[in-house]
């Protein structure tokens, strides 16, 4: 993977085909300020930034490659939450083990960015107030979801 510093935004670009980066939260979804998710668009709405992406030093993300899932109250098993996401059969075992290792087996919600291999060793950021980075996993774009949403 080649990480590039985007000179226009001063952020980092971690694009890598067939990788999915996953962040998880145990913070109640309904308690997160709307501003955290408000997207600012550039490049004909093909690129976006928001408080979350800025906190993790991402130059930008492509909304087409962003996926979220979770519960509005309480927590749920990460296997169930991530299992409803795209291509999850190809990465669910690795993700679940990483979540267990990070005491994040029960979550409120997750954020996935496909074709991105975020690296906290490069950015220096593994978590912010609401999300914890769990890892970048190989995915197969022909794989099904573990569960139908």
For the chain (149 residues), the mean pLDDT of every run of 10, in chain order, is 48 94 95 93 90 96 95 94 97 98 97 97 97 98 89
pLDDT of residue 3: 46
pLDDT of residue 110: 97
Strand partners, 12: 5, 58
pLDDT of residue 59: 94
What is the CB neighbour count within 10 angstroms for residue 10?
Answer: 10
pLDDT of residue 43: 84
pLDDT of residue 18: 97
Distances (CA, A) of 100 to 13, 24, 79, 89, 134: 28, 12, 10, 18, 10
Pairing of strands 47-49, 40-42: antiparallel
- Is the pTM above the cut of 0.85? yes
pLDDT of residue 149: 58
**CA torsion, points 142, 122, 34, 44, in degrees to nearest 10?**
-60
- Which ranges of the chain does DSSP label H, i.e. alpha helix? 51-55, 78-83, 92-101, 120-123
Q: Is the distance from CB of 15 to CB of 64 less than 8 angstroms?
A: no
Residues 109 and 121: their CA atoms lie apart, in Å, by 24
Residues 125, 32, 35: CA angle, nearest 5 degrees: 80
């Amino acid at each position: 993977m080649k990480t590039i510093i985007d000179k226009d935004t001063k952020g980092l670009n971690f694009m890598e085909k067939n990788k999915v980066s996953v962040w998880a939260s145990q913070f109640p979804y309904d308690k997160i300020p709307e501003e955290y998710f408000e997207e600012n668009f550039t490049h004909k709405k093909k690129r976006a930034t928001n408080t979350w992406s800025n906190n993790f030093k991402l130059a930008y993300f492509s909304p087409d490659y962003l996926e979220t899932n979770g519960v509005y109250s309480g927590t749920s098993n990460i296997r169930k939450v991530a299992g409803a996401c795209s291509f999850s059969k190809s990465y669910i075992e690795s993700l679940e083990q990483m979540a267990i290792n990070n005491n994040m087996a029960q979550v409120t919600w997750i954020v996935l960015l496909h074709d991105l291999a975020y690296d906290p060793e490069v950015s220096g950021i593994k978590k912010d107030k609401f999300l914890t980075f769990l890892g970048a996993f190989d995915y197969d774009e022909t794989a099904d979801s573990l569960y139908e949403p």
